[in-house]
Amino acid sequence: MTIRTRFAPSPTGLLHIGGARTALFNFLFARHHCGQFLLRIEDTDRERSTQHAVDVILEGLAWLDLTPDEPPLFQSSRAVRHAEVAYQMLASGHAYRCYSTPDELRQMREQAIADGRPPRYDGRWRDRDPADAPAGVAPAIRLRAPRDGETVVDDLVQGAVRVANAEMDDMIILRSDGTPTYLHAVVVDDHDMEISHVIRGDDHLTNTFRQVQIYQAMGWAPPRFGHVPLIHGADGAKLSKRHGAVSVLEFEAQGFLPEALCNYLLRLGWGHGDAEIISRDEAIRLFDIDAVGRAASRMDYAKLTHLNGVWLRQADDTRLTADVLRRLRDRTDLVLDDVAAARILALMPGLKERAKTLVELAESAAFLARVPPLPMDQKASALLTDEAKATLREIAAALAATDFSAGALDAALRAYAEHAGKKLGQVAQPLRAALTGSTVSPGIDATLAALGRDEALARISAASR
Ligand code: GLU
């Protein structure tokens, strides 16, 4: 059997991290089993679906490198097929026409609630003679659901879950206006897309029983289901805006790397021993659905930030430089020319050691794109006493004749410190302030080398006046 999974988001809001994790699990499961990963946009709710939300889903998946193996399928394009299957069920006796009006259904509901019964359709058209059909009322089509026995789902995560068929009423599959209901459309699409495994959030578990009944009515083999527990906030409550970033693209804006977010989401609810840092290739090799836990997981931003720092240090310098330049692009206080880009690239090994997010990284690189005189932060300007300025002038003289490679610069600074009877820190600190406008930066020799002789001397001169 070819393994085929799908991610089936409704384009009614943002692509949140719960959805991203569902997509990731479907992707990894398919790749692990040499199968295919598909995308279906569930846009049957025309009122609430927006093109913007579709774009956000596609952009988010592309950013996470979870590109589907086939072009996305739009559920709304398949309404004719959904109706066709409903009529097949009607013809085979597995469905029937229901002429109950909205008013009648409301009364039925109110009566059931008043009697302390769950509000369910009472099946009044199930066995009624179609000749009784009232004139001028368009019927809905309802599933003739089994009334005895139980429906069992052997869930790959939750184990065997069952519900008595008496608990479920005859659901509508095709509304009186001819549009399919959501549960029906999902089944028809999953069947036609030859989906072998449905991996989704456990908020859909109750839908599964009804969906299985549709498979049975059509004589179709249902896929295997795996319902993954939801992601909660650190406080255990349902994840919401209150907990910080929840949209995938917000994580991008906040400076997280897609591989770090994927690594984090993978570890959230799935484990492989103590392994924390897991690359995409390793994840494909190791992932299987049986190691997904049953407990809801909690979002831990501190842990994600830590992982991000680890991935950042491993990331390619050219890629990070491009990201930094993009993030600083609109800063009017900087000059982002090729010279600045080359400086940022040169210092990237040192910069990325100190940053936990791309936002921090960009901020820490900004000084390289400044034009002297540099703005000084409070600590830096406190360092620049008259004595320090005198020291800076001496350092400038010493550096004027030095080769601007990190090794030679280090040696020159040490020699100057020794000659002047100063500690290296007394030399490096005012120098760092002059070169960067702050008191934190990568090693002073690497910083000098990245700036180059002319720029370094210009900055020292501006700061020591
Ligand atoms: N469209 C549903 C959602 O966005 C998913 C349905 C499914 O995976 O079957 O929650």
**Per-position pLDDT tens, the chain of length 465:** 899 999 999 999 889 999 999 999 999 999 999 999 999 999 988 889 999 999 999 999 999 999 999 999 999 999 999 999 999 999 999 999 999 999 999 999 999 899 988 888 999 999 998 889 999 899 999 999 999 999 999 999 999 999 999 999 999 999 999 999 999 999 999 999 999 999 999 999 999 999 999 999 999 999 999 999 999 988 888 887 777 778 999 999 999 999 999 999 999 989 888 889 999 999 999 999 999 999 889 999 999 999 999 999 999 999 999 999 999 999 999 999 999 999 999 999 999 999 999 999 999 999 999 999 999 999 999 999 999 999 999 999 999 989 999 899 999 999 999 999 999 999 999 999 999 999 999 999 999 999 999 999 999 999 999
Pocket test for ligand 1, best of 4, 6, 10 (most atoms within 8 A of CB): 10
Question: What's the rounded Cα separation, in Å, for the pair 256 and 253?
Answer: 7
Residue where a domain terminates, one of 139, 163, 182: 182
Name the 3-class secondary structure at 268. Answer: coil
Residue where a domain terminates, one of 148, 182, 216: 182
Question: What's the rounded Cα separation, in Å, for the pair 307 and 93?
Answer: 56
The answer to whether residues 331 and 420 belong to one domain is: no
Ligand 1 nearest atom to the CA of residue 190, by list position: 9
Distance from the alpha carbon of residue 145 to the mean position of ligand 1, in angstroms: 23
The answer to whether residues 425 and 352 belong to one domain is: no
CATH number of the domain at 140, please.
3.90.800.10
The answer to whether residues 400 and 329 belong to one domain is: no
The answer to whether residues 438 and 409 belong to one domain is: yes
Q: What is the dihedral of CA 182, 184, 187, 188, to 10 degrees?
A: -110
Per-residue model confidence (pLDDT) at position 239: 81
- CA-wise closest residue to 432 among 394, 376, 386: 376
Nearest CA to ligand 1 atom 3: 9
The answer to whether residues 165 and 90 belong to one domain is: yes
Beta bridge pairs of residue 96: 142
Backbone torsions φ then ψ of 410, nearest 5 degrees: -60, -45
Ligand 1 nearest atom to the CA of residue 22, by list position: 8
Per-residue model confidence (pLDDT) at position 273: 86
Q: Give me the active site residues, please.
A: 241
Pocket test for ligand 1, best of 73, 181, 200 (most atoms within 8 A of CB): 200
Distance from the alpha carbon of residue 241 to the mean position of ligand 1, in angstroms: 21
- CA-wise closest residue to 324 among 368, 287, 267: 368
Pocket test for ligand 1, best of 186, 189, 207, 230 (most atoms within 8 A of CB): 186
The domain in which residue 86 lies consists of: 78-182
The answer to whether residues 401 and 351 belong to one domain is: no
Assess if residue 189 is contained within a domain: no
Assess if residue 11 is contained within a domain: no
Assess if residue 131 is contained within a domain: yes
Per-residue model confidence (pLDDT) at position 246: 85
pLDDT digits (tens, 9 = 90+) for 408-442: 999 999 999 999 999 999 999 999 999 999 999 99
Distance from the alpha carbon of residue 338 to the mean position of ligand 1, in angstroms: 47
Give residues (CB < 6 A) around ligand 1. Answer: 8-10, 42, 186, 200, 204
CATH number of the domain at 454, please.
1.10.10.350
User: What's the DSSP call for residue 292?
Assistant: B
Contacts of 139 (CB under 8 A, 6+ apart): 97, 98, 99, 125, 133, 176
Distance from the alpha carbon of residue 100 to the mean position of ligand 1, in angstroms: 29
Nearest CA to ligand 1 atom 6: 8
Assess if residue 174 is contained within a domain: yes
Distance from the alpha carbon of residue 408 to the mean position of ligand 1, in angstroms: 61
- Our measurement of the distance from residue 374's CA atom to the centroid of its chain's CA atoms, rounded to an integer in Å, reads 38
The answer to whether residues 348 and 389 belong to one domain is: no
Per-residue model confidence (pLDDT) at position 45: 87
Distance from the alpha carbon of residue 41 to the mean position of ligand 1, in angstroms: 9
Residue where a domain terminates, one of 138, 157, 182: 182
Nearest CA to ligand 1 atom 2: 9
Assess if residue 97 is contained within a domain: yes
Nearest CA to ligand 1 atom 10: 9
Ligand 1 nearest atom to the CA of residue 200, by list position: 8
The answer to whether residues 361 and 444 belong to one domain is: no
pLDDT digits (tens, 9 = 90+) for 83-101: 999 999 999 999 999 999 9
The answer to whether residues 360 and 436 belong to one domain is: no
Name the 3-class secondary structure at 410. Answer: helix
Distance from the alpha carbon of residue 358 to the mean position of ligand 1, in angstroms: 32
Distance between first and last Cα of the chain: 77
The answer to whether residues 387 and 456 belong to one domain is: yes
Angle CA(59)–CA(33)–CA(199) in degrees, nearest 5? 55
Reading the block at residue 65, the tokens are: 């490198």
Ligand 1 nearest atom to the CA of residue 12, by list position: 4
Assess if residue 28 is contained within a domain: no
Per-residue model confidence (pLDDT) at position 296: 87
Assess if residue 204 is contained within a domain: no
Ligand 1 nearest atom to the CA of residue 6, by list position: 8
Pocket test for ligand 1, best of 15, 42, 50, 74 (most atoms within 8 A of CB): 42
The answer to whether residues 132 and 171 belong to one domain is: yes
Structural contact between residues 65 and 280, judged by C-beta atoms closer than 8 angstroms: yes
Ligand 1 nearest atom to the CA of residue 186, by list position: 9
Nearest CA to ligand 1 atom 4: 9
Distance from the alpha carbon of residue 8 to the mean position of ligand 1, in angstroms: 5
Report how many domains make up the chain.
3
Assess if residue 128 is contained within a domain: yes
